[in-house]
Structure 1
């Protein structure tokens, strides 16, 4: 019984710290956020912060790792070399649903005060998978350009979508990106 309470308190503490970090990242770069400032905003003492993280960068790294674990699972399930091209909507829907679940975090991470390494890590993961798909399909020499077009274009659409207060649903965004990719990649 005590473990359940402890787990709930730990989850609550981490949620408060996460909320505080996202709030601070709306206006400040991570390098300018102190443990004291974050702890004060979350209304916890610094000692409690240090029970879970060594510093703000450690907190950010753990957060990114958790997100990438889930994102990697989506990519593994939906983006396989033998997946038909028309099935890309299913992948996009899963990605937009993932982004919706983590909207505040991802918006802060890709925002002007976010972590460029996070964005590049996302892009590289998708590019690597697309590369393996194009290689398996023996795509022509334009494959690397198609990868860059698809990944950068979708990243731009995601940034725009996350910045809108009344953004369309993940389903609508999956449809938008599917249409754009099919036109852009000449798949009409």
Structure 2
């Protein structure tokens, strides 16, 4: 147990040092020597944990995506079962603490580095693919009557919209827009049609669709929780 904890502490130190380096230089330009100097470890210690810096950043990315999927599953299990109708309002069924932005709020600093100009494009692609996967699950649970083309258009729209919002959030201090404020704003815009641009009408059209968790129907109207 002690050995395992020590390994975890070492890897946490390496990851923290690596992200710190990425604030000032691009991923491609970071060397193992720079990393081991900052982390105050020797090269052999680094190579006991990682084959190279590519494996290191992939482990950081995979940890983040594993936590994201776990958060989604937990929120999904706690969401109430509801039937869609014209009066559906996200806040009636999903507490602010469950909203999707809540997951990202404590990780904004880490994401700003991974997805910033010093990061690598693959990090953004992996996160976008994961978000798209979760939105796809949500749409499936809501069981809307959509053709394959309509489903793809809706899925791409929701994924692009969320990633755009997240990117903006990363570029601006969160003090100006907390996760709960983002959740409330999103819900207000859905009800008013400001962001949905007709998609909310689609919710009314599928109000007889099979019952699904509230978190599953939100992607249909500018999702705040997939």
What's the TM-score once normalised by structure 1's chain length? Answer: 0.79
Seen in structure 2, the aligned counterparts of structure 1 residues 134 and 170 have a Cα distance that, compared at 3 Å, is closer
The structure 1 residue matched to 2:120, chosen from 94, 115, 119, is: 115
- Separation in 2, partners of 1:181, 1:27: 39
The structure 1 residue matched to 2:181, chosen from 157, 172, 176, is: 172
- Structure 1 counterpart of 2:67: 70
- Structure 2 counterpart of 1:53: 50
- Structure 1 counterpart of 2:107: 102
Seen in structure 2, the aligned counterparts of structure 1 residues 154 and 93 have a Cα distance that, compared at 3 Å, is farther
The structure 1 residue matched to 2:31, chosen from 21, 31, 34, is: 34
- The superposition leaves residues 2-33 of structure 1 with CA deviations (integer Å, 9 ceiling, x where unpaired) of x43x4443333222212221122223222211
Greater relative CO, 1 or 2 (CA 8 Å, sep 6+): 2
Decide whether the 8 Å contact of 2:105 with 2:179 is kept in 1: yes
- Structure 2 counterpart of 1:159: 167
- Separation in 1, partners of 2:21, 2:69: 27
What's the TM-score once normalised by structure 2's chain length? Answer: 0.68
Bigger share in helix: 1
What is the root-mean-square deviation of aligned Cα atoms in Å?
3.0
Residue 145 in 1 paired to residue 142 in 2? Answer: no
Note the C-alpha offset of 1:118. 2.4
Seen in structure 2, the aligned counterparts of structure 1 residues 134 and 92 have a Cα distance that, compared at 3 Å, is farther
Seen in structure 2, the aligned counterparts of structure 1 residues 50 and 169 have a Cα distance that, compared at 3 Å, is same
Decide whether the 8 Å contact of 1:110 with 1:116 is kept in 2: yes
Decide whether the 8 Å contact of 2:96 with 2:180 is kept in 1: no
Structure 2 counterparts to residues 9-24 of structure 1, below 5 A: 9-24=6-21
Stretches of structure 2 lacking an aligned partner (at least 5 in a row): 202-226
